[in-house]
Structure 1
Amino acid sequence: MREFFVQNETIILFAQGLVFFSLGFAVWLQRRRATRLTLSSSLIWLAAFAFVEALAVWGHVFVPIQEDYLGPRAIEGLLVLRAMIQVAAFVFLVQFGLRLIGLTPLVRRCLTAVSVLVGLGILGGTALASGSTGWGAAEWESAVVALSRYTLLVPGAVLSAIGLWRQRAELADAGMTVIKPYAAAAAAVLGAYAVAGLIVPAGPITPGGIGDSEGWFDLTGLPLEVVSGTAGLVLCVLAVKLLEIFDVEAKQQLEALDRARAIAEERARFRRDLHDGTIQSIYAAGLHLESIAIRTDDSSVRAEVREVVADLNAATDGIRDYIRALAEPPATPEGIAAGLGDLARRFSDETGRDVRFTVEGAAAAGPMPAEAGQHLSQILREALSNTARHAGACRVRVSLVFAPDELDLMVDDDGCGPGPPTEGGDTGRHEGLRNMRERARRLGGRLDVREAPGGGTRVTLAVPLDSDVPEDDSIPSDPEREVSHR
């Protein structure tokens, strides 16, 4: 068996690269811009890792073939390029893990920068070391791969495994319980891949024994490439099953669009009925009462009748306002930002708390979901009310960020009160949280409530915006404009 693997090393490497390329290609084909799940929006980074890893593996097939045709300098350049490609692949795997574990954008950007700096540091540090140690290009590449496996591959695979395991809860909340086992299995495979990452190619800084690829092969008779390729194949199969998320989400979006159109038709019918039926009946009743007031000689009766007529006129004006609200166009990003900013300012005036409201990217936002303004206002109102009831004296930061494919609303307080609600806690607070989650679901988004760094509570809402879906001007916003009372 050992002889078989040695003689067919090229075929094994080609198959390993093909497995990773297939994984990346499968994910790329199913790529979507608008998604409400962290897992599906993060899969593109897994595809990037798989594509680049395939190139690195195929480099071990390509470079030996070129040794008969290219000079030593050209071969050294190819070895340097292959090492850089390998480091890039591991950096992409780290990005996949960072996006799965639910970090804040700032922390995620900082850790992304750290991972890139680690990769560059490995390339630069080993290049400097090779000058004093006399390493050739092959030895330098071996040192680069060993260090990058320890510092990038292993942490990236561990983060990805933890993140996939955590995503099971989000899948369940989205009604995708059938996909949960595949996420758990993929987490297990990535955990095994992390363990395999501790085995590095034989070279000047490898630990020897089972810790390097040659020692592993001597002990088990199984090349490390076969182990990695098998893990990649299983991960590819599981990723294809996870890609069913996109089909489920597409079905949910179509159902939401059908519901929105049905609501729009019902509102149009209701608007016509109010205008042509109810208002005309009230107006006729008012004219009748006016004629009675004119004919009567009793001044007190005349006064009372005209008071009733005034009340009917006020009711008519109210119904006309309601009809105009039914005909309002969909909310714009600028209008939503202005409404939420006004709500935050009123809350600050009423409670005396320091509330800072920031908004970014309104001009770049994709189409807003139906009823977005109403639901976002109520989610923000409930989140601010919770800070008033539970957080004590505190500062509150409200951040609204628009992007072509997503809207993010974050409410962060540094209060000293209780953190996020837990089972058996305040019933009223749980009711408010359920309402917030229901509104997030109606927007096709996800709501997360957790302890903020340094204490307090952080509420995060992410709503996908699909710029590929045309705006439908026939779908008005909800007329029930809920306002905050001082």
Structure 2
Amino acid sequence: MIESLNDFLFQYKYVFKSLYGLLYYSFGLSVFLHSRHFSRLVLAKSLPWLGGFGILTALYEWGNVFIPLHGQVQGLHDQTIFFIFQQLILGLSLVSLFQFGIDMLRPFGTHFRWVRLVPTFVLILWLFGPFIIGFSLIPDIKDWISFTAGTAARFICIPASVVATVGLIHQQRRQIKPMKLPFMDVMTRCAAGGLAAYGLFGGIFGPKSFFKPGIFLTEESFTDFVGLNPHLFMALAGVVLFIAFTRLLEIFDIETEVMVRNMEQEQVIANERERMARDLHDGALQQVYASGLLAQSLKKRTKSENLSEADRLINTINEAILQLRDFLPRKKSEVTSVDLVGALQPKIEETKQYIQVSTTWDIENLPPFSIDQARHLTAFLNEVMSNVIRHSKSQEMDIKIQYLEHLLTIEVRDYGEGISSGAEQGYGLRNMRERSKLLGAELKIDSERHHGTVVRLELLIKEGNL
């Protein structure tokens, strides 16, 4: 049966390769069409590279069909220029997959920004080595094609597939799993499996090369051992990738629905606040105003020795009026953005009066924030610092504020008692979680009893959100 299948594939090899290329072209095009620029998911920003990988892989495979057919029809014996372009397309397709994987590993630390340049560096090495120097040293064009394709398979395809698989799993745990969508988790793992299979059959068992292991682990050795060509398994990996990513990209539609639902909830909350403000203005605030007027009237008939008490009463009522007026909606300010550092710095300086604070700022190119964002971030940091002072029994606190790759990170670490696993969640923790939810940020709290607590807020910043 296996021999019959191999004979069938060999007899219709051009048809198989055409369909194989069409499969990866459909996969790449589908990824492009489902891309979302407004999404907060890192996957959305990396998809163009994955789409490029699919389309360029299709062009490379179609080259295996059209170059021989073109030579037969036109009667051409020297098709070197076509083979050169085909190998260049192969290198670009694998580097696109590599870049997709690197981008999926974001965010990078300050000292690891150079990692994004690794695929470009690998491509340059491959171009100047096997591609250019190899072309000048290897006289036979078929040997050169095998050499360039073999080195691309071992030195680009394998690391690209590994990095892409790890990056996809990383984002699945970091952003997709918290959305509590089990089906999307399954599709992400299937997509990662498809990428790993592509690297296994297309990288390890690639064309024959002049060095180990490319001398022994080749397409021919795999076919002799298993009985089937590895391209058949690469086609199956393409089917898995097409189905898995087509379903996985539905997560952007779900994300949009969640955003619309949140906007509707915010509108309901705003309307309710407006109603409460009207009731407060027409009810309680008017009563307090009346109390203030009555207190001033009583002051005029108060004996001189009791005037200080009357003044304190009037001042207390005035303070109550100011506090109540703070709950009323104000006219929209002409100021639409504020400097976050200017908003956070005074709170941190005030905290230094009660505890030793070490502050690290890594905020190069930090954009201005909206008034609401700055208010929530300031209130969040103030809540965290207040909890450290009141509950941790720590003598010092480390605050790190970092902005890198459009990701704002606020991390507060103390060295106190920590949070007991059985402790009841108080207002402070609830307030922090509500603030992070309103910001659309991710909150992480790591605590170990008697070893302190680390509170980390991660907010992905996009221009449309400022």
Answer whether TM exceeds 0.5 for this pair.
yes
Q: 1:307 aligns with which of 297, 303, 312?
A: 312
Alignment counterpart, residue 281 of structure 2, candidates 275, 292, 302: 275
Show the counterpart of 2:200.
195
| Residue of structure 2 equivalent to 1:483 | none
What code does the residue aligned with 2:30 have? Answer: A
Q: CA distance change for structure 1 residues 85 and 344 in 2, over 3 Å: closer, same or farther?
A: farther
What are the residue-to-residue correspondences of 1:73-84 with 2, within 5 Å? 75-84=79-88
Of 389, 393, 400, the residue aligned with 2:403 is 400
Query: CA 1:378/1:287 → structure 2, altered by over 3 Å: closer, same or farther?
Result: closer
**Structure-1 residue corresponding to 2:138:** 134
- Inter-partner Cα distance in structure 2 for 1:437 and 1:99: 28
Give, as a single letter, the amino acid of the residue that structure 2 aligns with 1:194. G
Q: Which stretch shows the higher mean deviation, 78-87 or 126-135? A: 126-135
Find the residue that maps to 1:461 and give its secondary structure: strand
Q: Indicate conservation of the 8 Å contact 1:447/1:460, yes or no.
A: yes
Contact 2:414 2:454 in 1 (8 A): no
Partner SS state of residue 211, structure 1: coil
Q: 1:27, 1:47 within 8 Å by CA — same for their partners in 2?
A: yes
- What value does the CA root-mean-square deviation take over the aligned residues? 3.9
Q: Which runs of 5+ in 1 are unaligned?
A: 472-486
Q: 1:261 aligns with which of 262, 267, 274?
A: 267
Name the residue aligned to 2:409: 410
1:4-57 residue CA offsets vs partner (Å, 9 max, x unmatched): 212211111111111111112222222112333344443343223212222222
- The Cα of 1:209 is off from its aligned counterpart by 7.6
Deviations 1:366-393 (A, max 9, x none): x85x942233224445677899969987
2:462 to 461, 465, 484: 465
SS class of match (1:26)? helix
Note closer, same or farther for the CA distance 1:257–1:395 as it changes in structure 2 (3 Å cut).
Answer: closer
Does the C-alpha gap of structure 1 residues 55 and 349 become closer, same or farther in structure 2, counting only changes over 3 Å? farther
Paired with 2:43 and 2:166, the residues of 1 have a C-alpha distance of 12
Pairwise CA distance, 1:190? 2.3
| Contact 1:165 1:183 (C-alpha < 8 Å) held by counterparts | yes
Residue aligning to 2:437:
441
Cα 1:411–1:54 change in 2 (3 A) is same
Specify every segment of 5 or more residues in structure 2 that has no aligned partner in the other structure, as ranges. Answer: 448-452
Percent identity between matched residues is: 25
1:436-484 deviations in whole A, cap 9, x for unaligned? Answer: 5553333223346799xxxx979461335373x8x9xxxxxxxxxxxxx
AA aligned to 1:266 is: E
Conserved in 2, the CA contact under 8 Å of 1:139 and 1:204? no
Residues 325-362 of structure 1 show CA distances to partners (whole Å, capped at 9, x for unaligned) of x5555985533343134445555676554423243445
Determine if contact 2:138/2:144 at 8 Å carries over to the other structure.
Answer: no
The residue type equivalent to 1:465 in the other structure is K
2:17 maps to which residue?
13
**Shift in alpha-carbon separation, 1:428–1:121, aligned structure 2, 3 A:** farther
Q: TM-score, normalised by structure 1?
A: 0.78
The structure whose RCO (Cα within 8 Å, separation 6+) is larger is 1
How many angstroms apart in 2 are the aligned matches of 1:317 and 1:386? 27
- Between the aligned partners of 1:400 and 1:226, the Cα distance in structure 2 is 46
Report the 3-state secondary structure (helix = DSSP H, G, I; strand = E; otherwise coil) of the residue aligned with 2:29: helix
Contact persistence 2:388–2:414 (CA under 8 A): no
CA deviation digits over 1:79-119, x for unaligned, max 9?
Answer: 22221221122122222222334551546642232222122
Distance 1:109-1:314 versus aligned 2 partners, 3 A rule: closer
Deviation sequence 1:207-266 (CA, Å, 0-9, x none): 578721233334444333222111011111011111121121111101111122122222
The Cα offsets for residues 303-326 of structure 1, whole Å up to 9 and x where unpaired, read as 5444323321222223234436x5
- Are the counterparts in 2 of residues 130 and 136 from structure 1 also a CA contact under 8 Å? no
Partner of 2:374: 373
How do residues 39-78 of structure 1 correspond to structure 2 at under 5 angstroms? 39-68=43-72, 69=74, 75-78=79-82
In structure 1, the partner of 2:98 is 94
Cα distance in 1 between the residues matched to 2:220 and 2:21: 20
Aligned partners of 1:157 and 1:190 also within 8 Å: yes
Alignment of 1:1-400 (within 5 A): 1=4, 2-68=6-72, 69=74, 75-104=79-108, 106=110, 109-127=113-131, 129-130=133-134, 133-170=137-174, 171-196=176-201, 197-205=203-211, 207=213, 211-294=217-300, 296=301, 298-300=303-305, 304-323=309-328, 327=331, 332-344=336-348, 346=350, 351-361=355-365, 371-381=372-382, 397-400=400-403
Match of 2:450 in 1: none
TM-score by length of 2: 0.81
Q: Distance in 2 between matches of 1:126 and 1:390?
A: 63
Structure 1 Cα separation of the partners of residues 150 and 212 of structure 2 = 7
Separation (CA, whole Å) in 2 of partners of 1:349 and 1:280: 39
Larger displacement relative to structure 2 (237-246 or 375-384): 375-384
* 2:41 maps to amino acid: L
Distance between the aligned counterparts of 2:393 and 2:297, measured in 1? 58
Q: Paired residues, what number?
A: 451
Provide closer, same or farther for how the CA distance between residues 358 and 140 of structure 1 changes in structure 2, counting only shifts above 3 A. same
Relative to 1, partners in 2 of residues 1:394 and 1:118: Cα closer, same or farther, differing over 3 Å?
A: farther
- Matched-pair contact (CA < 8 Å) for 2:21–2:57: yes
Structure 1 residue 140, shift from structure 2 partner: 2.3
